[in-house]
Amino acid sequence: MARFGVKEVADVIFYDLANSEKPVMFLDTLKMSNLENDAETSYVQGGKGNGRILGWDYNRTATFTLQDALMNPKMVAMQAGAEVKKGVVTAHKREVLEAVDDGGTATTVTLSESPISGKTTVYSTEDGYDHGTEVTPTAEAQAMTFVPTDVPIGSKVVVYYQYETSVNAEQIVISSDKYAGYYKVVGHTVIRNAKTNIDEAFEIEVPKAKIMSNFALNLTPDGDPAVFDITLDVFKTDNNDMVKLTRIG
């Protein structure tokens, strides 16, 4: 019987079980694609020393754990039970600007975006971090104007505002009442024949898996780049299948 070395990560395809098993996701930048199986055992014990006499296995479980080197917005949306919505959304911005003469009777600062009316707060500031007096602009527009006695020429203001993005923005909304769904998951990799030293195609099929809804976005200024964990809880099918391991050769 041939034996194999197992090392290479798999490329994984997700098929939507709620939509005629249509393929919806392909991941080929994984750092990990680990399949773990577990079961419990109940024993009959007795006699001198209370040794084990018989055992019954039950409660078989399997978990398919993936780790992606790159953030895929659609995958994050699938974990959240949401969709990636593309279009104009409201975003937030903070800018520190120096007031200049507008050529008339006011001072002005120019924002990088056009603010939404009523969604702007302005403070005078010495160093860009402290909040001095809150000041009210005379014109709440991208070219924002002030009374010179409130904001003299050369003074700084810190502006907090909201604006509408371009139509190319993408947004994922995580809701309290929506969770990840069920998918068929197929992983393709290679295993190395110990006798021939040749890599042979190997497929891992999970006919029914639920994406676990817990995930994290880790943003840190040092260390290694963030990775993105995807945990799949494996369920049995109507004929009790949970995982299919196929050496394609």
From CA 15, how far away is CA 247, in angstroms rounded?
21
Q: What integer is the mean pLDDT of 155-159?
A: 98
Query: What is the domain partition of the chain in residue ranges?
Result: 4-37+60-81+173-247, 90-164
The closest of 188, 194, 213, 182 to 33, measured between CA atoms, is: 188
The pair of three-digit structure tokens given for residue 232, joined into one six-digit string: 């799949």
Q: 3-class SS at 235?
A: coil
From CA 80, how far away is CA 66, in angstroms rounded?
16
In angstroms and rounded to an integer, the radius of gyration of the C-alpha atoms of the chain is 29
What fold characterizes domain 90-164? Elongation Factor Tu (Ef-tu); domain 3 (2.40.30)
Residues 109-123: b if buried by 16+ CB within 10 A, e if exposed: bebeeebeeeebebb
Q: Are 97 and 122 in contact (CB under 8 A)?
A: no
Continuous segment of H or E residues that includes residue 77:
helix 73-80
The pair of three-digit structure tokens given for residue 42, joined into one six-digit string: 């109940």
Does 1.10.3860 match the CATH number of domain 4-37+60-81+173-247?
A: no
Q: What integer is the mean pLDDT of 86-99?
A: 98
Continuous segment of H or E residues that includes residue 78:
helix 73-80
Residues in Cβ contact with 172 at an 8 Å cutoff, skipping those fewer than 6 apart: 73, 76, 77, 80, 82, 83, 84, 85
Q: Looking at the whole model, is its pTM more than 0.85? A: yes
Q: What is the pLDDT of residues 188-228, one digit of tens each?
A: 999 999 999 999 999 999 999 999 999 999 999 999 999 99
Tokens 């160093």 sit on residue: 127
From CA 16, how far away is CA 3, in angstroms rounded?
34
Angle at 154 (CA atoms; ends 149, 155), nearest 5 degrees: 60
pLDDT of residue 75: 97
The closest of 115, 99, 111 to 148, measured between CA atoms, is: 99
The rounded mean pLDDT for the chain is 96
Q: What integer is the mean pLDDT of 29-57?
A: 97
pLDDT band at 104 (very low <50, low <70, confident <90, very high): confident
